[in-house]
Structure 1
Amino acid sequence: MDKEQLRKEFNDFLDSASDATVKDFLKFLKDRKTQQSGDQDTLKNGLSEDDLSFKNRSN
């Protein structure tokens, strides 16, 4: 699906959705973003500098 088609369908959704549906959708996006950033923090904070040293190794 190209960007224009996606944009059109999203705008159609916003035009036809009730306020409650839009609020639920925005809450879903916010929760998803919080969860993803939490996962990144957990991954980064869960590793020590020794664990991260692999990124400087060459094959």
Structure 2
Amino acid sequence: MAVPKKKTSHQKRNHRRATWNRKARLAAQRAMSLGKAVLSGRAKGFHYPMEDTEEGEAEDI
């Protein structure tokens, strides 16, 4: 079984963890921004139905 030859330093470990946290924080920020844009009606990147179509669904069945 492969075993690391030397102990990883705290600095290296903290740097890797900070990078991982930064990526997660950026993804969460983008998701929140997109969600707010959709709810406010500012989203231009995709089509999102804002109307209730319950009557239309019942007619199709």
TM-score, scaled to structure 2? 0.53
TM-score, scaled to structure 1? 0.54
Count residues in correspondence.
Answer: 46
Partners in 2 of 1:25 and 1:49 — Cα distance?
A: 36
CA RMSD of superposed structures (Å): 3.5
Q: 1:5 — aligned with what?
A: none
Partners in 2 of 1:23 and 1:40 — Cα distance?
A: 26
Q: 2:8 — aligned with what?
A: 17
CA distance 1:21–1:30, change in 2 (3 Å): same
**CA drift at 1:38:** 0.4
Q: Which has the higher helix share?
A: 1
Q: 1:38 — aligned with what?
A: 29
Residue 52 of structure 1 aligns with an amino acid whose one-letter code is Y
Q: Which runs of 5+ in 1 are unaligned?
A: 1-7
Partners in 2 of 1:34 and 1:49 — Cα distance?
A: 22
Larger of the two Rg values belongs to structure: 2
Partners in 2 of 1:44 and 1:52 — Cα distance?
A: 11
**CA drift at 1:35:** 0.5
Q: Which runs of 5+ in 2 are unaligned?
A: 42-46, 54-61
